[in-house]
Amino acid sequence: MEDPATARPGPAVEDGDAPARVRSRATVIGLCWLAIVVDGYDLIVYGTVLPTLISSEWQLTPAAGGRIGAAALVGMLLGALVAGFLTDRIGRRRLMVLCIAWFSAAMAVSALAPTPELFGVTRFVAGIGLGGVVPTAIALTVEFAPPGRRNASNALMFSGYSVGGVLAALGGIVMIEAFGWRSMFWTGALVGAVLVVVVWALMPESVVYLVGRGRHREATAVARRYGMDVPEPAGDTGARTGGLRQLLRPEHRAGTLLFWGGTAAGLLLVYGLNTWLAQIMRQAGYPLGGALGFLLALNLGAILGAPLFGTLADRIGPRPVVTGMFLAAAGSILLLMVELPTVLLLSLVAIAGACTIGTTIIVNSFTATYYPDHLRAVGLSWALGVGRIGAITGPLYGGLIMSVGWGFQANFLAFAIPAVIGAVLMALVPGRAAARS
**CA gap 192, 41 in Å, rounded:** 10
State the pLDDT confidence band at 21, using cuts at 50, 70 and 90. Answer: low
Got the DSSP string for 59-91?
A: ---HHHHHHHHHHHHHHHHHHHHHHHHHHHHH-
State the pLDDT confidence band at 152, using cuts at 50, 70 and 90. Answer: confident
φ, ψ for residue 376 (rounded to 5)?
Answer: -60, -50
**CA gap 377, 384 in Å, rounded:** 10
The answer to whether the beta carbons of residues 68 and 118 sit under 8 Å apart is no
**CA gap 255, 69 in Å, rounded:** 30
**CA dihedral for 151, 157, 161, 166, sign (positive or negative):** positive
Q: Residue 307 carries which side chain, given as an amino acid letter?
A: P
**CA gap 132, 351 in Å, rounded:** 28
pLDDT at 289: 67
Residue-wise pLDDT for 273-331, tens only, equals 877 787 777 777 676 667 778 878 888 888 888 778 878 888 888 889 999 999 999 99
Distances (CA, A) of 429 to 136, 150, 320: 23, 19, 10
Got the DSSP string for 372-387?
A: -HHHHHHHHHHHHHHH
**CA gap 165, 47 in Å, rounded:** 9
Reduced to 3 states (helix: H, G, I; strand: E, B; else coil), residue 235 is: coil
The answer to whether the beta carbons of residues 172 and 48 sit under 8 Å apart is yes
CB within 8 A of 417, min separation 6: which ones? 330
Highest mean pLDDT (candidates 20-24, 113-117, 158-162, 174-178) = 113-117
The answer to whether the beta carbons of residues 46 and 188 sit under 8 Å apart is no
For 40-129, list the strands marked E by DSSP.
none
**CA gap 88, 349 in Å, rounded:** 40
Residue-wise pLDDT for 27-41, tens only, equals 888 999 999 999 889
pLDDT at 431: 60
Length of the chain: 437
Nearest Cα neighbor of 419 from 257, 273, 255 is 273
Residue-wise pLDDT for 44-93, tens only, equals 888 888 888 887 778 888 778 888 888 887 888 788 778 777 877 888 88
Helix residue spans in 180-228 (DSSP H): 182-202, 207-212, 216-226
